[in-house]
Structure 1
Amino acid sequence: MSKGIINRAVLALSLFLFSFVAQAALSHISINSRQFDVGQHPKIKLNIVAGKNDFSRISFHLRQTNGSKEIMEELMVQPISGYMLFAIGVDNVTDPNAKLIVSEYKGNSWRQYAVLPVFDSPFIKITDKTEVKIDTRNQPKKVAPMPNTGGKAQQTTAVEKTPNSSSVSASSASSTLSTQTLSTPIVNEGCTIERDRSDTLWRIASRYHKQWQTNVYGAMLAIYDANPKAFSKQKIHLIRQDVILMCPSQSQLNQYVNKIDDKAKFEGLEQQHAGN
């Protein structure tokens, strides 16, 4: 008799855990509308149903092709309501067959959840009433100012030219950037990064990379270097929401001046950490 009671208790607990996990998972995603056209950077409204509105375990990438080259850009995401998100990117979309790739982190790996054709969705012309902007107001003291996200992000970093030199090689440019003295520091010593609870590492880096004079991948790596305790199990794709992020130092930022190299290092770390 006691064995039957135990079996029923185990069954009830299993059903409870199953329902809890199901509730916490992503159960629906679709494109509500797009606010951009071919040749512009992506602005997409999304319908979503996810347990506890935990968007840190959901990623959104825009995939497009340019000739034989495939380009993937992770989009910044901001909640509009409990059932709607706004996704935005910085790279212009030139492929009319571009797709939105939605992935969900389950267990110890990212799993593709949906592939949605972007230009099959309804187009809404942007007006003052329909445009969604990232809120950058109410900045506390000693917080690095929020960069302007209105324009297209620059992918290169300006380097001072040395006198009597007509060209600078990639290696010498990196060295020059690392050793030059700036009249105005890029970051204030001891400053903290402003963030929302729903912010992903990509979204934070996308806001700050121009101000820090680096690329998005370099900004993510610099944030990771400056905040080792802000990442669960020291994994770069598991940023914690309960830890204050410190601004990276100038020396940390100076390590990341080449977008191609920084992207390769970031993706290598991401793959390494996801496999552990």
Structure 2
Amino acid sequence: MGKNRASVRAMGVGISVALLVAGAAACSSDGEKDTAKAGAAATGASATASPSKGPEAFAAAGYRGLKPGMAKDAGLATGALESAPVSLLDGCTDFVYKGGPAPDPARMAAEAATETRYKDLNAKADAASGKAPAPGGALPPNASAKDAAAAAAGSAAGARESADAAKLIADATQALVDLRFAQEAKDKAYLTTGRVSFAATGLRELVAPAEARTAEGLGAGSTVEALQQAYGAKGLQSAKSGKYVMPVEGQQGWQYEFTVDAGKVTGMAAVNREIKCA
């Protein structure tokens, strides 16, 4: 009887151990499955997640959806620009990027007046230049006093016409200077906010906002030394305007322009100066 009890106890212990081992194995298997599922989910999420991108580089080939030669309506349709123009000077239409400054009516009115005055004086100067008086010539030895008086009157009239023409040309030249100053004032007003200029034939100028950087990481605040190191071998040179310019590879007529002050870049643009506004 004692032996039977011992056998039963031994059998019970054996069954308990077997059940514990089986349970541990099952838990381990379930844990491994959960771990495998979690790993697969993480791998799938990593595979489908899009890589992070840095800020868009400023380039003549395209910036914020705007491209060289793009028509004005197409440029506005990108949604990158404010809809109201900020300048109509010299036949071009300029816009700022979304969130940029509102149009300045006073400055735009002054621009229009300056341009109108230049066109009026230039037309008058051209007309006066085409009416140059004929040379009076020498009087014959037997000329009468009347003939001499008539010749003198003609010479005086010619001199007055020449003086009037000279004054018109001088005024037209000054009006052209005033127009250039107005253009420089406009450029300065949007040097840091950026702007886009359209001619009748399409987009001709992209002025970068202050935060923009080229693919090489250069922009407002960069030193002239950094410009020369990055672009010296690509044709960078100092222009008469005081800017540093560089041709755009693969874009005929286009160039980068870096405005500098005190040895640092204060603004940059991509422009095709061969495209005339008007």
Q: Same fold (TM over 0.5)?
A: no
Q: The TM-score by the shorter chain falls in which range? A: under 0.3
RCO higher in structure (CA 8 A, sep ≥6) = 2
Which is greater in Rg?
A: 2
Higher strand residue share:
1
**TM-score normalised by length of structure 1:** 0.21
**TM-score normalised by length of structure 2:** 0.21
Higher helix residue share:
2
